Amino acid sequence: MASKSHFLFFLLLSIFCLKSSSWSLLDTERDYSRWVSWNVNNHQKRAMLVAKSTVQTPGADGKLVLDGKLRQAEMNSVRVTVSQDGTGDFKTITEAIYSIPPYNTRRVIIAIKPGVYREKIFIPRTVPFVTFLGDSSEPPTITGNDTASVSGKDGKPLRTYQSATVAVDANYFVAINMKFENCHLNSIAKKVASLTAQKRSNSSLASGFSFKDSTITGSGLIYLGRAWGDYSRVIFSYTFMDKIILPQGWNDWGDQRRDSRVYYGEYKCTGPGANLTGRVAWARVLTDEEARPFIGTYYVEGDTWLISP
């Protein structure tokens, strides 16, 4: 699904597939925490809602449970094309998104022709039911180079929350056959730093970071993650880790009470940095069963909204 520098994006990841060489250790923005938590809703609560309002429709496995709103949007779907050579409806992805009316109720499939799209893309909460569809034989690439320290239009640093190359605040977003470039994680830390800082403030939240098929390299010494929240949750699976990873692997950010609350896991990772000798006792080496929820579509309730275009 991924190469060393490209993620074939199935969903999200707005979030994790950006070029950001500056994960700020002191960045404690509340908006960013809410953004991450929103993207991965509480599974139990969501399951109850789905049970009350679902329909059966053909899917990849012969049966798919769809959210009622999505079913209605699918019945009235529309398709537009983005092509940089001018042969489509739009030349940029941003133009296609701007063409969608606020509070849209139809599924809008944006068919994106091959090419490298250097855009900063934002899909607001008022524009749901958007699907990015690339060519499976030659997936288009979306790339950008903002970091937390880059100045925005107001002259102030963007900070982490606004540095995303692709940010999606809307419900029912899907990306198929797309490459989100520069998800290669490269540390440039001069002092000891942390690759992730996930803020999960209570155990009922289903939020977390899950990295799969990734590569971690760089020049500094880093922790895989630090406990920004009391119940921080981060999982790395099938990830190559260079020697820059500190033996301890994880940091409780000076609060030992978090050692029994956080959920930090590694699963079938490789490379010198994946050597588990010296790992903190409260980190987890996940079993197949423990890893399964984080490496498939279950974690984001894919059965309720992942459908073919």
Q: In the structure encoding, which two tokens stand for residue 36, read together?
A: 């991450």
Domain ranges, residue 248: 6-304
**Dist. CA 7–CA 180, nearest whole Å:** 6
Domain with residue 48: its CATH number is 2.160.20.10
- Note whether residue 21 is domain-resident: yes
**Which of the two residues, 190 and 51, has the higher pLDDT score?**
190
134-189 pLDDT tens trace: 998 999 999 988 878 888 888 898 887 788 889 999 999 999 888 886 555 565 65
Would you say residue 1 lies in a domain?
A: no
Q: Which residue has the higher pLDDT, 249 or 294?
A: 249
What pLDDT digit, counting tens, does each position of 63-73 carry?
456 678 888 88
Cα–Cα distance for residue pair 160/215, rounded to 1 Å: 20
For the chain, the average pLDDT equals: 79
- Cα 205 from chain centroid? 16
- Does residue 244 lie within any of the structural domains? yes
DSSP code string of 156-186: SB-TGGG--SEEE-SSS-EEESEEEE--SEE
- State the pLDDT confidence band at 258, using cuts at 50, 70 and 90: confident
Q: What does the pLDDT look like over 177-197, one tens digit per residue?
A: 888 865 555 656 567 888 888
Give how many domains the chain has, as a whole number. 1
Residue 180 lies in a domain: yes
Segment 208-218 mean pLDDT: 88
The span from the CA of 231 to the CA of 36, in Å, is: 14
Q: Are 283 and 252 in contact (CB under 8 A)?
A: no
User: What pTM does this model have?
Assistant: 0.59
Instruction: Give the bridge partners for 264, in sequence order.
Output: 234
The pLDDT of residue 19 is 35
pLDDT at 253: 84
What confidence category does residue 51 fall into, taking pLDDT thresholds of 50, 70 and 90?
very low
Is 309 within the bounds of a domain?
no
